[in-house]
Chains A and B, each alone.
Chain A
Amino acid sequence: DTEVTQTPKHLVMGMTNKKSLKCEQHMGHRAMYWYKQKAKKPPELMFVYSYEKLSINESVPSRFSPECPNSSLLNLHLHALQPEDSALYLCASSQASSGYNEQFFGPGTRLTVL
């Protein structure tokens, strides 16, 4: 299985809502990533988990809260978002070995904040 899955595909939320994005991979990868992508721009790294521990936080606002319950799952909890947070949120995974940098992406969650 070489697939990264993400749910939901689309999400519309108000600024006072709490929601969660979910990501799952079964490739045995021990590094997982959250990216934010605006239209026609490259992905921007938000968080990296390595062996289920948060290893990189790219100064992301606290209204985004990541969680890695186990080696296959990655969540992104959303609370009190702003309209400018509307974007495509991408999950990716890779082997944890330092020499292997191939990141495999899921299809993304299209988030709209009203």
Chain B
Amino acid sequence: GQQLNQSPQSMFIQEGEDVSMNCTSSSIFNTWLWYKQEPGEGPVLLIALYKAGELTSNGRLTAQFGITRKDSFLNISASIPSDVGIYFCAGRSPAGNNRKLIWGLGTSLAVNP
């Protein structure tokens, strides 16, 4: 099935550094969701975006819905060890079933204290 292009695949950074990851699609989306998943747990919703150009923050996290509606990015500022996990983007296409999310393959983040 359709998947989003999520990059980078993995990141290894020092504590305190800023992090940026993004997702792109070949077609337009009307919803972008960003999740974080820690080992042995379910994905936790971080940020939801519904409008092109929308910029939303959640603490040290900031995400934007690209104006072309084909991409989104997630930034984490001043990373800390508990930011470790896999970050997934997910989106909904207006052409698809409104219950189905299309997922990126994830960005695995490791933080060196």
Contacts and interface: CB of A to CB of B under 8 A. Distances in A.
B74 interface: no
A107 B50 CA distance: 26
A40 B104 contact: no
B103 A40 contact: no
Nearest to A31: B99
A101 B98 contact: yes
A108 B41 contact: yes
B63 to A, nearest CB: 13
Interface in A36-75: 40-43, 45, 48, 50, 55-56
A107 B98 contact: no
Interface in A86-109: 90, 92, 94, 98-99, 101-108
B88 interface: yes
A105 B33 contact: no
Contacts of B104: 42
A101 B32 CA distance: 9
Contact of B40 (A55, A99, A110): A110
Residue among B35, B45, B86, B101 with most chain A CB within 10 A: B101
Contacts of B43: 43, 90, 105
Contacts of A90: 42-43
Interface residues of B, number: 26
Contacts of A31: 99
B53 to A, nearest CB: 18
A53 to B, nearest CB: 12
Interface of B: 3, 31, 33, 35, 40-45, 48, 50, 86, 88, 90, 92, 97-101, 103-106, 108
16 contacts: A31-B99, A41-B106, A42-B90, A42-B103, A43-B43, A45-B100, A55-B99, A56-B100, A90-B42, A101-B33, A101-B98, A103-B45, A105-B35, A107-B40, A108-B41, A110-B40
